Structure 1
Amino acid sequence: MPDIIIKPHHFMDIIKLYGSGIEVFVPDENMGHDFYKAANEIIKNHQIQLQLTIDGDDICRPCRMYQNKRCIDKVYKPGYEYKNDYNQTLDKRLIENLNLCTERDYSADELCQIMLAHHDCIFQVWQEEEDIITQKRHDLFVLGAQKFIK
């Protein structure tokens, strides 16, 4: 039984932000999601069990933008109107590129090691982003993953 159900890109975002120097995550009272809660649990417990999903996860479900089992927040990416569709595309790409499975649990440490071993896939996954933003995402993820695994 997983401790946290999480989208792969959310996990990667947590590790990226950890790499940027964030050690303790705080609530986003405006949106009401549980990113901070999942992030703090993952950072303090590397053996926490994670189940991957492309649907609403433990971070999304309490968010005020999560309605009828989907994110209704708008996204400004060519070809996408809603964040839900864009995020599902990112998560499908991560699962495929990293050969991950939604039918099993991963420890946070194991998932981080898998992602770090294949960190260059970030450029294929976030292909809609500007190169400079993707490069920063990549570099901060690698920093965070190396810090997390130590």
Structure 2
Amino acid sequence: MKTILIKPHHFMDIIKLYGTGIHNFVPDEKMGHDFYKVANMIIHNPDVPLRLTIHGDDICKPCKKYNNICTDALHHIPGFTSKDIYNQTLDTRIISLYSLSKETYTAKELCDILLETNQNIYEVWKEEDTQVTK
């Protein structure tokens, strides 16, 4: 079974969207990333190994805005203009807040950890509107 390289915030995005009722993710043809492919693999096989990273992952690498780093800009989060820096901040924060000390987890294991300390979600996206964490 292939190990998926994934940023912690991407995993949380997948779980959040799945929780809203999306059970089949579709390609984003505009950006060309593999969010849909990774999300579907995780949803259909929650025991797939997930290796955490704060750098480019299997979702980012085919994106039109990825060139060894995310080149997308941010305009809506005070103090951040680089999406790459913001995402690294989020992922480092998630690893710390949820005490993710192992390099590899299954989706089931990560869900259990996130559920145990679910109040931390408000600290993860603290720069953004609270709508993001609902």
CA RMSD of aligned residues (A): 1.3
Aligned residues: 133
SS in 2 for 1:75: coil
Which residue is equivalent to 2:69?
70
The structure whose RCO (Cα within 8 Å, separation 6+) is larger is: 1
Which residue is equivalent to 1:106?
105
Deviation track 1:27-81 (CA, whole Å, cap 9, x = no partner) reads 00000000000000000001000000000000000000001x1101111211111
Which residue is equivalent to 1:81?
81
Matched ranges for 1:87-98 at <5 A = 87-98=87-98
Report the alpha carbon displacement of residue 104 of structure 1 after superposing the two structures with TM: 2.5
* Contact residue 2 and residue 51 of structure 1 kept, 8 A: no
* Contact residue 2 and residue 50 of structure 1 kept, 8 A: no
CA distance 1:24–1:5, change in 2 (3 Å): same
SS in 2 for 1:74: coil
Say which structure is richer in helix: 1
Taking the aligned partners of 2:133 and 2:17, their CA distance within structure 1 comes to 14
Taking the aligned partners of 1:79 and 1:86, their CA distance within structure 2 comes to 9
Taking the aligned partners of 2:27 and 2:78, their CA distance within structure 1 comes to 30
SS in 2 for 1:28: coil
Which residue is equivalent to 1:57?
57
Deviation track 1:63-121 (CA, whole Å, cap 9, x = no partner) reads 00001x110111121111111111111001000000113x5210111011111111111
TM-score between the two structures when normalised by the length of structure 1: 0.85
Report the alpha carbon displacement of residue 21 of structure 1 after superposing the two structures with TM: 0.5
Taking the aligned partners of 1:66 and 1:120, their CA distance within structure 2 comes to 32
Could you list the structure 1 runs, at least 4 aligned residues long, displaced by more than 4 angstroms after superposition. none
Q: Percent identity?
A: 56
SS in 1 for 2:81: strand
* Contact residue 2 and residue 105 of structure 1 kept, 8 A: no
Which residue is equivalent to 1:122?
121
Say which structure is richer in strand: 1
TM-score between the two structures when normalised by the length of structure 2: 0.95
Taking the aligned partners of 1:78 and 1:71, their CA distance within structure 2 comes to 18
Report the alpha carbon displacement of residue 3 of structure 1 after superposing the two structures with TM: 1.3
